[in-house]
Chain A
C-alpha cells in the first residue's frame, strides 16, 4: 500500500466475443485500492462476462487484466484465486452437506500425511469467521445456514485464500435488509483493510450507500467511470446506463389492435409477490421487461400452465379456460415458447422433423395415430422454407443446429395451428443478430394475422423496439403498463429497478 490512490486492479482494452455476440468491447478502467467500486449496467451489458474474465473463467480475446501493474493471464478460476482474486457469485459455490470449516478450506484442508487435522481445521475456521464478526459454528453443515450466513462463509473462504480483490455479483438479491446491512459492514471493513472490492448490483440505492466509485457498462462497452459518487444522483447513473439509440432493426408498424384475446386476472403462484392482471389484444405485440428475478418467466409459466397457479383466472377470447397443464392451454389456443431452449424447448437428440411436428403429430397422422410420413415431411419442409431454417436435412439432430435455428423450430411448432395467444420467453437469448431480426419479423407477421403476442425480454432496446405496449415487472409483480409513446428507456429501467429500502422479506433458506 505504497500509494493509497493507485489502481490495484486494472482492465485494459478487454474484449470478449461469443459466436454472434460481442460481450465485451475494449473495456478499460481501474479500481483503486481500499475502495468499494460499483459495476452497473442493464442485463446483458457485460457485467457477468467481465466478472468471469476477472475470475479466470473466460480468457479475453484481446486486452489484459492487470494486478498492481502486472498483466495477468489466468487459465482457470484456480489460478485467479491463487493470484488473490475471488469472485462471489449469486449462486454460492459451497457444498451444502459439508461443514462450514470444510467448505472454508475446500481444496487445501490442513493435513498431516493425508489425514485431515480436524481440530486445527475447526480452530482456524472459527478464527476466520470471528474476524468477520460472525459467530457461526464451524462444525455446522452449510446446508443448515441462512443465505446471509452462507455468504459470510463464502467471504471467509475468499479471505482464507488471502484474496486481495473480492468481487460480489448481486450479493443482496436474496438477502433480508438486515443481512444486507451486515454484508455492507463487512465490505466496508474489507475496504479499510486495503482490499479491492468490486460490487455488481441492480440496486442503485445500495450502490450509493456503500460504494465509493462506479463504472457503467452498456452493450459490452465501458461508458463512464465515476471516480467518486459525490454529486452524482440516481438519474445521472440511470442515464449513463441507458442512453442509447434504438436501431431500426426493430421498426414495426403497430396495427390497430382487435378484440381482447387474453385476459389474466389476479393470477398468483410461486415466484410472484403480488397477483398479476393484464390483457392482450388481437394483433398486439406486448413486451414484458424486468430485471433478472423480477418474475417474468414465472408469470409466463403460470399463464401457460407449466406451473400451477394458486389463484386467478385466465380468459382466452373472452372465455375462461381452466388450465391444469400446458395441454389445456394449447387446446384453448394459448401457446408458449419457453425461456430455456435446451431444457424446455427442444428434444436435443431427436431430428428436426420430429421437433417441428412435436405438437401436432396427431393432426398430421392418419386415423389419429398412424404416422403419415409424407404429410409430416411436407409440413416440415414448408416450415423450413417459410422460416428459412438452416439445416442440412430434416433428419439432422436438432442439437447440431445453431441457437437461432433451434428457436425457429420451436416457434414453427405453433405456426399454422389455431393459435390465438403466443407467449415468448426470451425468444432471442443467445442467438445472433441476423436470426434475431428474422424472429422479430416472424413475431410481427403473426401479429398481423391477429395473434396476440407477449414477448418477455431482458433486453431493453428489444422490448422497446418491438412492442406496442409494455409491461414492466419488478420484484415479482407487474409494476406498470406503458403505452408505446410513453415508454422511454429511462422510464422503463427506472420502474424496473428495485425501490429503496422497502420492507424486504426475511430470507430463510
Chain B
C-alpha cells in the first residue's frame, strides 16, 4: 500500500502533459487567463493597473458575498435572499445613522439586520426542514418589501459624512505613472497596434477592495482549516451520513446562513456608504450574480465541492468580462446576454471535461 499516486504514463512530452494537467485541475483558471489575455490584446484601456483597480472595486460586492455563498453551496444549500439583504442593510444603516447621528450604531444596525435574516433562514431550513430554495425565495421577497417599507420607496441620503469613509476611502494613497498597454485600431493593415508605455493614475487601493481581500483570506481559511469548514463540506457531500457520524448538522447550517446574512449585510452597508445613501432598489439580481461567480469557480450546486481559490477565479472571470464589455461600450442589455452565455459556456466546458476524464 503506497501513500502516493502516480497519474498517467511517465514518458511523453512534459510541457503538453503539464498543460493538460493544468486544464484538468484548474480549467477555469485557464479560461480566466485566456479572457484576460484576449481583453488585454483587443480592448483599449483594459491592460493597465489603474483599470485593474477599478475592476476590483466593481466586483467587491459580489466578491464579498461570494465568500459566504461558497459555504452555503458547499453545504448543499442556496441563499437567494442576499440581494435583498444588501438593500435592506443599506437602508437600515442609513436610517439609523440619520436618526442617531452615530456612524458605528448605523453600521451595527445594518449588520444586525442582515444577520437576523440569515438566522431566520438558517433556522427555518435546518430546524423546520423547509427547502432552502423556497425559504430564501420567500425571505428574498419579504426582505425586499421591508426595505421598501422602511425607506418608503425612496433613497435615503446619509447626512453624516463619517459614514462615507467605509466605501470611499483608499489606502495606501499613492499615485504616479503606471505601466499600460495601449491598443489602437486602424482602418488599414495591420488593424491592431500595441504600444507599451506609462500613464498617470491613482493606484490607492479602495477600502472595499481590502475588505473583499480580507474576506477571501478569512473564509478561505475557515473552509479549509477549521473543523467548521470541513464539516460544511461533509454535510454538502452527504447530510444524513454526517448526522449519523455525529456532526451537528442543524447547528452548522444555522451558523452558515447567519454568516451569509451578516456578510451580505456588511456588503450592503459598504455599498450604501459608497453611494452615500441607502437605496431600497439595489442588489436586484445580485444573488444570481454571486451564485454564477461561484459556479464559474467550480463550486458544485449539489454540495460537497468548492474552493475559495475557485471562487476568486469565478469572481474575476465575471468582473473581467463585464469590465471589458464596459470598455467596449457594449450596452447593458447586451451585457446580460453575454453574461448568461459565459456562464453556460463555462459549465458546458466543465461538463465535457468531466465526461472525458471518466
Chain A residues with a Cβ under 8 A of chain B: 304, 306, 325-327, 330, 336, 338, 343-350, 354, 358-359, 361-362, 365, 368-371, 381, 384-385, 388, 390-396, 413
Contact = CB atoms under 8 A, between A and B. Distances in A.
Interface string B1-28: 1111100000000000000000000000
B190 interface: no
A325 B227 contact: no
Contact of B243 (A325, A350, A370, A371): A325
A258 to B, nearest CB: 25
Contacts of B238: 343-344, 346-348
A354 B232 CA distance: 12
Given A359-B245, A361-B230, A381-B3, 10 more contacts: A327-B248, A330-B246, A344-B238, A347-B238, A347-B304, A350-B234, A354-B233, A365-B227, A370-B225, A385-B1
Contacts of A371: 224-227, 229-230
Contacts of B243: 306, 325-326
A396 B1 CA distance: 13
Interface in B243-274: 243-248
B241 to A, nearest CB: 5
Contacts of A344: 238, 240-241, 244
B244 A391 contact: no
Interface of A is mostly: loop
B3 A393 contact: yes
B51 interface: no
Interface residues of B, number: 28
A222 to B, nearest CB: 39
A361 B241 contact: no
Contacts of B245: 326, 358-359, 413
B228 interface: yes
Contacts of A362: 227
Given A359-B246, A392-B2, A347 B225 contact: no
Given A348-B237, A350-B304, A381-B3, A336 B244 contact: yes
B242 interface: yes
Q: Which of B245, B248, B304 has the most CB of A within 10 A?
A: B245
Interface in B283-311: 304-305
A370 B225 CA distance: 6
A370 B226 contact: yes
Contacts of B305: 349
A391 B237 contact: no
6 tightest A-B contacts by CB? A347-B237, A330-B246, A358-B245, A347-B238, A361-B227, A359-B245
Given A381-B3, A413-B245, A350 B233 contact: yes
A308 to B, nearest CB: 13
A412 B228 CA distance: 22
Interface of B: 1-5, 224-231, 233-234, 237-238, 240-248, 304-305
Q: Which of A390, A392, A394 has the most CB of B within 10 A?
A: A392
Contacts of A384: 1
Contact of B241 (A347, A385, A391, A395): A347
A349 B240 contact: no
Contact of B246 (A327, A370, A388): A327
A395 B2 CA distance: 12
B226 to A, nearest CB: 5
A416 to B, nearest CB: 15
Q: Which of A306, A326, A336, A345 has the most CB of B within 10 A?
A: A326
Contacts of B229: 371
B241 A346 contact: yes
Contact of A350 (B1, B237, B248): B237
22 contacts: A306-B243, A325-B243, A326-B244, A326-B245, A327-B246, A347-B233, A347-B241, A349-B305, A354-B230, A354-B233, A354-B234, A358-B241, A358-B247, A361-B230, A365-B227, A370-B225, A371-B226, A371-B230, A391-B1, A393-B3, A395-B5, A413-B245
B227 A345 contact: no
Contacts of A394: 3
Contacts of A391: 1
A327 B244 CA distance: 8
Contacts of A354: 230, 233-234
A402 to B, nearest CB: 14
B227 A343 contact: no
Nearest to B234: A347
Contacts of A345: 241, 244
A501 to B, nearest CB: 38
B126 to A, nearest CB: 13
A391 B242 CA distance: 22
A361 B240 contact: no
Contacts of A325: 243
Nearest to A373: B225
A347 B3 contact: no
Nearest to A335: B246
Contacts of A327: 246, 248
Contact of A393 (B5, B226, B248): B5
B1 A390 contact: yes
A395 B4 CA distance: 9
B318 to A, nearest CB: 26
Contact of A347 (B2, B224, B242): B242
A393 B241 contact: no
Q: Which of A338, A343, A349, A394 has the most CB of B within 10 A?
A: A349
A358 B234 contact: yes
B290 to A, nearest CB: 23
Contacts of B247: 358-359
B241 A369 contact: no
A366 B169 CA distance: 38
A384 B3 CA distance: 10
A358 B242 contact: yes
A304 B226 CA distance: 27
Q: Which of A338, A368, A371, A381 has the most CB of B within 10 A?
A: A371
B4 A393 contact: yes
A385 B5 CA distance: 17
A43 B328 CA distance: 70
A338 B244 contact: yes
A392 B5 contact: yes
Contacts of A395: 5
Nearest to B228: A369
